[in-house]
Chain A
Amino acid sequence: NAGVTQTPKFQVLKTGQSMTLQCAQDMNHNSMYWYRQDPGMGLRLIYYSASEGTTDKGEVPNGYNVSRLNKREFSLRLESAAPSQTSVYFCASSDIINSPLHFGNGTRLTVT
């Protein structure tokens, strides 16, 4: 059972380039989340999707867009990457709003 799978694991971008981080879960969870974690910091919520077809902003949504493609997949897009977006990005899913979150192993993104 794979759980939450994120791709790619590592990525280096130049300022202004765009890319999409992919996330898929195989647990039939309703809710999915994107977090970023800067060095020595806790996680900050970027966007979340409470259920298929809905998305909402979290604490730090500026510079990002998301798509809940179907129940399994939730992607995060950076349209014009900036050095301030250098971070580790984690995707998570949960069954219902108050159930535990299951996290992927992260995507380490560097923007030069």
Chain B
Amino acid sequence: DAKTTQPNSMESNEEEPVHLPCNHSTISGTDYIHWYRQLPSQGPEYVIHGLTSNVNNRMASLAIAEDRKSSTLILHRATLRDAAVYYCILRDPGTASKLTFGTGTRLQVTL
């Protein structure tokens, strides 16, 4: 199964943009890139996903490299409520079992 690599932790100041990187050099052509986040004592929450093109929604933007071997989740203005663990996951639509979470990036947001 294709794996992802993320930094263990990152810090940001409130109101500033945050760029969370993810490497997935063994991604297959059919794998979608999904991002989830997990706030303390809660279940993971879907953030965004994409295949090849950059994607935007109300929560974040997803920038995907042209070769698809890396991607970046962009929070445009971090708030204290964005402090969470962010998971970058590859999802093969052919089988539900290929959804490996890894340890993610713990984002700290300070005033």
Which A residues are closer than 8 A to B by beta carbons? Answer: 4, 31, 33, 35, 40-45, 48, 50, 56-59, 90, 92, 94, 97-98, 100-106
> Are A59 and B44 within 8 A (Cβ)?
no
- Whether the pair A97, B100 counts as a contact (CB closer than 8 A) is no
Question: What's the dominant secondary structure at chain B's contact region?
Answer: loop
- Kindly identify which residue among A43, A44, A58 contacts B44, using a CB–CB cutoff of 8 Å: A43
Q: Is the CB of A103 within 8 A of B96?
A: no
Report if B45 contacts A (CB, 8 A).
yes
Q: Using CB atoms, name the residue of chain B closest to A90.
A: B43
A-B residue pair count with CB separations less than 8 angstroms:
57
Q: List residues of chain B with CB under 8 Å of any chain A CB.
A: 32, 34, 36, 42-46, 49, 87, 91, 93-97, 99-104
Contact yes or no, A105 B43, CB < 8 A: yes
Instruction: Tell which of B91, B97, B104 touches A42, judged by Cβ atoms closer than 8 Å.
Output: B104
**Cβ-neighbour of B103 out of A41, A58, A104, A106 (below 8 A):** A41
Most buried by B among A94, A100, A102: A100
Contact B102 A48 (CB under 8 A): no
Contacts A50-B96, A97-B96: A105 and B101 contacting too (C-beta < 8 A)? Answer: no
Residue with the greatest number of chain B CB neighbours at <10 A, chosen from A56, A59, A90, A101: A101
- Which of A57, A59, A100, A103 touches B43 (beta carbons < 8 Å)? A103
List 18 extra interface pairs beyond A33-B99, A42-B87, A105-B43, CB under 8 A.
A4-B43, A35-B101, A41-B103, A43-B87, A44-B101, A45-B100, A48-B97, A56-B96, A56-B97, A58-B97, A59-B97, A90-B43, A90-B44, A92-B44, A94-B96, A100-B34, A101-B36, A101-B44
